[in-house]
Amino acid sequence: MEIEKKYRLTAERRDTIAASLKEIGADFAGEDFEENTIYRGGVLGDGAIVRIRRTQDRSVLTFKRRLRNEADVKQQIEYETGISDADATAQMLLELDLRPRLVYEKRRKIWRFRDVEVVLDELPFGLFMEIEGSIEGIREAEMVLGLEDLKTEHETYPQLTARLGKRTGEATEARFK
């Protein structure tokens, strides 16, 4: 079960949060560049996706299905596994009638604080922060970091990509230039 909360940020607020994370002693776990390809079709039901995430060091296959709720904290079923050959896995998904529908790139910086992970993301359409952990851990991190004034971003990166990306063939993409 993945539990996370997402916020849209300005560049100034992102920098303030990064400085606050250092001040409170959060552990900087690194940064990465990702290419995320979302597949749909075949036997996937409503609200479910399969994703291949490629980074500089590894590739991961993920299945997600969002659980509907009215809370500002997103909850979803998530299964994830490392894959050794992303191109072969993509070909298998095509054979299963799953098609790439969304592609988005992301620059991510990762911190660990107590029992949560805090990430600062840059996508072609904006700056975001996600806090992942228990509901209590997320609330605690919000208080320690002084985030009570930030509004929750309810759209997922795939939803934002679908709305703000550029159509290229059968897929919609959000890539850095």
What is the pLDDT at residue 72? 74
pLDDT digit string, tens, across residues 32-62: 999 999 999 888 877 789 999 999 999 999 9
Asked if 176 and 32 count as a contact pair (C-beta separation under 8 A), the reply is no
Parent domain of 83: 2-174
CATH number of the domain that residue 151 is part of: 2.40.320.10
Intra-chain end-to-end CA distance of the chain, in Å: 34
Q: What pLDDT score was predicted for residue 111?
A: 98
Band of residue 69 on the pLDDT scale cut at 50, 70, 90: confident
Q: Which of 157, 41, 148, 22 lies closest to 94 in space, CA to CA?
A: 41
What is the CB-side half-sphere exposure of residue 22 using CA atoms within 13 A? Answer: 6
For residue range 119-162, list pLDDT tens digits in order. Answer: 999 999 999 999 999 999 999 999 999 998 999 999 999 999 99
Higher confidence at residue 55 or residue 76?
A: 55
Instruction: Give yes or no for residue 67 having a pLDDT over 90.
Output: no
Q: How many domains does the chain have?
A: 1
Residue 17 has pLDDT above 90, yes or no: yes
Distance CA 78, CA 86 (A): 19
Q: Which tokens go with 165? A: 């990306």
Instruction: Return the pLDDT at 97.
Output: 93
The predicted structure's pLDDT at residue 63: 95
